[in-house]
Amino acid sequence: MHFLTDRGFNHPHASEITPRRAYDSRRDVLKLLATGAAGATMAAWAGREARAQATRPGRLAALPAARSALAGGVTMEKLTPYADLTTYNNFYEFGTDKGDPAQNAHTLKIRPWTVAVEGEVKKPKVFDIDELLKLSPMEERVYRLRCVEGWSMVVPWVGYSLAELIKRVEPTGNAKFVEFVTLADPKTMPFVGSRVLEWPYIEGLRMDEAMHPLTLLAFGLYGEVLPNQSGAPVRAVVPWKYGFKSGKSIVKIRFTDKQPATSWVKSASQEYGFYSNVNPGVDHPRWSQATERRIGEDGLLAKKRATLPFNGYEPQVGQLYAGMDLKKFY
């Protein structure tokens, strides 16, 4: 796989799906398109791009996906290496230290697995995970994820827009919010029962947020199925919100007319609001949200990078909040 990296060696963690060369050639192609001379170059670029997508750590089952063409669907920032993003996790069901989920989540049983879709919908249904996997074509989305604790990462997720699932169950006019209920199994999750949070871990979105094409139902990352610690077998990814909005290991998706009571709001509503849009202008009560560190890249002594409003997705999602006081609805 040496042709996939521009570092001249075969990195075991496949830290970048699309190397610099491919990005550069993409820019070249855009230039050529502008001059109307793209033909052969386009074909060569497409081939290289397809090979680039095949890069995967080779640890788990492959989950191939076409690269997303959605606006905001693929950030060109450097990917966070697989080894870093899978060993520095928040998944409190497996412990509260960042290293705990990678250590402990091997006990999670991801088959059989079902996701019940219910509430204010015309066609409620319990989906088997293997049916969900085939519901819509898989896309590779490269998103930034910003945790409320001040770290961030760039991940090549594999999945499809949550809207694809929502359309199929036909929400009623009463569906104003979506609630995500995640697994709480004390037999396989050693910290379920601890008093750090109420279980199950629950998150939620407003209906228009859930329907936004950037809201992803993710089944994989780096071209493979999700490792357990990252929320196998299915999780949400909402790239313009703090990471805790992205519930892992989802077992139920419920449509409601009322704003769901979400886990972090229930346990510390002064610190974690329902909206939780990434906002450098609204500090967490105990620390600033103006800057962030990229895991695996920015060491403790490195200068932090500026956090962007809506985590950089303002062009795509800003209009969802037109007229809202985002300091009040933090």
CB of 92 to ligand MTE, least distance (A): 4
Of residues 154 and 166, the one with the C-beta less far from ligand MTE: 154
Alpha-carbon distance of 239 to 213, in angstroms, equals 11
Query: What distance in Å separates the CA atoms of residue 139 and residue 53, rounded to the nearest whole number?
Result: 11
Smallest gap from Cβ 253 to ligand MTE, in A, equals: 14
Region 172-201 residues binding ligand MTE, contact defined as CB under 6 A? 182, 201
CA quadruple 268, 273, 276, 280: dihedral, nearest 10: -80
Which of these segments, 68-76, 87-95, 136-144, 161-169, binds ligand MTE (CB under 6 A)?
87-95
Q: Work out which of 73, 81, 243, 312 binds ligand MTE, going by CB under 6 A.
A: 243
92: contact with ligand MTE by CB under 6 A: yes
Residue 89 near residue 62 (C-beta atoms within 8 A): no
Cis previous bond, 112, omega within 30: yes
Which of 5, 75, 90, 152 touches ligand MTE (CB under 6 A)?
90
* Nearer of residues 288 and 319 to ligand MTE, judged by Cβ: 288
115 strand-pairing partners: 127
Which residue, 243 or 312, is less far from ligand MTE as judged by CB?
243
**Residue 247 in contact with ligand MTE, rule: CB under 6 A:** yes
Residue 268 backbone class (left: φ over 0; alpha: ψ -120 to 50; beta: rest)? beta
Instruction: Decide: is 89 part of the binding site for ligand MTE (CB under 6 A).
Output: yes
User: Applying CB under 6 A, which of residues 244, 272, 274, 313 lies at the interface with ligand MTE?
Assistant: 244
- Cβ(154)–Cβ(18) below 8 Å: no
User: Binding mask 127-156 vs ligand MTE (x if CB under 6 A, - otherwise)?
Assistant: --------------------x---------
Q: Which stretch binds ligand MTE (CB under 6 A): 58-66, 83-91, 282-290, 297-305?
A: 83-91
Residues 13-48: b if buried by 16+ CB within 10 A, e if exposed: ebbbbbbeebbebbeebeebeeeeebeeeeeebeeb
Return the amino acid letter for 3.
F
Does residue 209 touch ligand MTE according to CB under 6 A?
no
Q: In whole angstroms, what is the distance from residue 99 CA to residue 88 CA? A: 6
- Asked if residue 161 binds ligand MTE (CB under 6 A), the reply is no
Q: Minimum distance between the CB of residue 40 and ligand MTE, rounded to whole angstroms?
A: 40
**Taking Cα atoms as reference points, which of 279, 274, 216 lies closest to residue 245?**
274
Options 4, 57, 80, 91; binder of ligand MTE; rule CB under 6 A: 91
Residue pointed to by tokens 């795509």: 316
- Start-end of H helices in 36-77: 39-53
Q: Pattern 286-315, binding to ligand MTE, x per CB under 6 A?
A: ------------------------------
Instruction: Measure the CA–CA gap between 67 and 239, rounded to whole angstroms.
Output: 17
User: Binding to ligand MTE by residue 277, rule CB under 6 A?
Assistant: no
276 interacts with ligand MTE by CB under 6 A: no
Distance CA 312, CA 100 (A): 30
For ligand MTE, which is the closer residue by CB, 22 or 236?
236
Give the CA-trace dihedral at 218, 237, 268, 312, to 10 degrees: 170
Cis-peptide into 309, omega within 30 deg = no
Give the footprint of ligand MTE on this chain (CB under 6 A).
89-93, 147, 182, 201, 230, 243-244, 246-249
